[in-house]
């Protein structure tokens, strides 16, 4: 693939640009462009690199007369219209593995915070209170953690929380019970999981099968006081049902990093974030210096692999519309 000029439209770590320039690819960085401006700019480029701020709409893709690749430095391509890109034979790729450890570590931090009320106790102390009884917690040792989605992040979460003495159970349609056993996760059906779990953490993509996966019916079949964690994608947990379960006391707490709407403005999400038993972070799963460098390098490496000119970079494992790639070869 002939890639001479690349536009970086979001603040991707400088390692991305450095690597491309090392191989004589011309790179321009132009941030915070409107759809109109991007549609004009894109005409001069063979490839576009974004993080999550820039929306790559059908209009932008249509305007990209020489556009061959859209790369996302991150996991998931929610901000890229993959159908429009595929129709125009533009390859779309992401860097799915680059931020797995960071997302996993935030998940573990939310679980441990929920167990020991770290956030509300700290807020209370800073407000001048000394409330030791109110913020008494519980041990994670011996508790059961259900992991829904045993891919890259789910598996890493299992390994770390086992070190805390948690029993790990889980489900994933493409992982076998034998594979799950290799990393000490007991493979169970959803119906078996819900009544056993003290904590439930979701690590699936947001697809029709996982939208509203954790809903009122599921929450009702869980143990009283169950804790819910979502560092995957907003929409996997039904926010309205979770809020009701928190209000009724059925759910004992939630750790949430991702929302149905980001940044959130709808009433239900705002109430959820404000709930005293919720620890909420603003989509920080991948926000570590290490992950940002990793995804920046990974997106460039894949672009270089697509040019076919660099022997050291051959992997294009983040390509989503592989049929476009096959057709172009």
Ligand X SMILES: NC(=O)c1ccc[n+]([C@@H]2O[C@H](COP(=O)([O-])OP(=O)(O)OC[C@H]3O[C@@H](n4cnc5c(N)ncnc54)[C@H](O)[C@@H]3O)[C@@H](O)[C@H]2O)c1
| C-beta nearest to ligand X: residue | 151
Q: How far is the CB of 86 from ligand X (least distance, A)?
A: 20
What is the DSSP code (8-state) at residue 58?
H
Tell me whether residue 5 or residue 181 sits nearer to ligand X (CB atom): 181
User: Which residue(s) pair with 148 in the sheet?
Assistant: 171, 202
Q: How far is the CB of 193 from ligand X (least distance, A)?
A: 10
Q: How far is the CB of 284 from ligand X (least distance, A)?
A: 7
Counting Cβ atoms within 10 Å, is residue 29 exposed (0-12), middle (13-18) or buried (19+)? Answer: middle
Tell me whether residue 121 or residue 320 sits nearer to ligand X (CB atom): 320
List CB contacts of 2: < 8 A, sequence separation 6 or more: 46, 68, 307
- Position of tokens 């894949």? 302
Q: How far is the CB of 201 from ligand X (least distance, A)?
A: 10
Q: Which residues contact ligand X (rule: CB under 6 A)?
A: 75-76, 96, 99-100, 103, 148-154, 171-174, 203-205, 209-210, 231-233, 257-258, 283, 285-286
Query: Which is catalytic among the residues 26, 35, 179, 262?
Result: 262
Rounded to whole angstroms, the Cα distance separating 140 from 79 reads 37
Q: Is 283 left (phi over 0), alpha (psi -120 to 50) or beta?
A: left
Query: Which is catalytic among the residues 233, 260, 275, 298?
Result: 233
For residue 265, the SS3 value is coil
Rounded to whole angstroms, the Cα distance separating 210 from 17 reads 36
Tell me whether residue 149 or residue 253 sits nearer to ligand X (CB atom): 149
Q: How far is the CB of 39 from ligand X (least distance, A)?
A: 27
Is residue 179 annotated as a catalytic residue, yes or no? no
Tell me whether residue 60 or residue 232 sits nearer to ligand X (CB atom): 232
List CB contacts of 30: < 8 A, sequence separation 6 or more: 7, 8, 9, 41
Tell me whether residue 64 or residue 74 sits nearer to ligand X (CB atom): 74
Q: How far is the CB of 25 from ligand X (least distance, A)?
A: 27
Is residue 160 annotated as a catalytic residue, yes or no? no
Tell me whether residue 22 or residue 181 sits nearer to ligand X (CB atom): 181
Tell me whether residue 252 or residue 255 sits nearer to ligand X (CB atom): 255
In order, the DSSP letters of 312-323 are T----TTBS-HH
Is residue 301 annotated as a catalytic residue, yes or no? no
Q: How far is the CB of 132 from ligand X (least distance, A)?
A: 33
Contacts made by residues 81-86, CB under 8 angstroms, sequence distance 24+: 81/56, 81/57, 82/320, 82/321, 84/57, 84/58, 85/56, 85/61, 85/321, 85/324, 86/321, 86/323, 86/324
Rg (CA), the chain: 22
Using CA atoms, how far residue 245 sits from 87, 146, 215, 254, 272, in Å, is 43, 18, 10, 10, 11
CB 91 within 8 A of CB 315: no
Query: Which is catalytic among the residues 66, 88, 138, 283?
Result: 283
CB 102 within 8 A of CB 290: yes
Give the residue numbers annotated as catalytic, written as ranges.
233, 262, 283
């Amino acid at each position: 693939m002939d890639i001479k000029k690349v536009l970086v439209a979001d603040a991707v770590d400088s390692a991305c640009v450095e690597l491309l320039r090392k191989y004589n690819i011309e790179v321009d960085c132009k941030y915070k462009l409107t759809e109109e401006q991007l549609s004009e700019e894109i005409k001069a480029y063979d490839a576009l690199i974004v993080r999550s701020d820039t929306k790559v709409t059908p209009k932008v893709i249509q305007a990209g007369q020489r556009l061959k690749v859209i790369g996302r430095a991150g996991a998931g391509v929610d901000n890229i219209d993959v159908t429009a890109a595929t129709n125009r034979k533009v390859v779309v790729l992401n860097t799915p593995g680059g931020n797995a450890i960071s997302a996993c570590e935030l998940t573990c931090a939310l679980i441990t915070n929920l167990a020991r009320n770290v956030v509300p106790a700290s807020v209370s102390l800073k407000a001048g209170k000394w409330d030791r009884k109110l913020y008494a917690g519980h041990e994670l040792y011996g508790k059961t953690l259900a992991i829904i989605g045993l891919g890259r992040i789910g598996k890493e979460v299992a390994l770390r929380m086992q070190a805390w003495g948690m029993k790990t159970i889980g489900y994933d349609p493409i992982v076998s019970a034998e594979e799950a056993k290799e990393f000490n996760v007991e493979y169970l059906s959803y119906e078996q999981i819900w009544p056993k779990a003290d904590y439930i953490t979701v690590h699936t993509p947001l697809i029709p099968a996982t939208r509203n996966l954790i809903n009122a019916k599921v929450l009702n079949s869980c143990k009283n006081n169950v804790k819910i964690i979502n560092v995957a994608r907003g929409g996997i947990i039904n926010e309205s049902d979770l809020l009701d379960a928190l209000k009724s006391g059925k759910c004992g707490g939630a750790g949430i990093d991702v929302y149905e709407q980001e940044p959130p403005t709808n009433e239900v999400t705002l109430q959820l974030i404000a709930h005293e038993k919720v620890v909420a972070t603003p989509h920080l799963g991948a926000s570590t210096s290490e992950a940002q460098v990793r995804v920046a390098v990974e997106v460039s490496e894949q672009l270089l692999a697509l040019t076919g000119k660099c022997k050291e970079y051959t992997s294009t494992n983040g390509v989503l519309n592989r049929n476009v790639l096959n057709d172009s070869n």
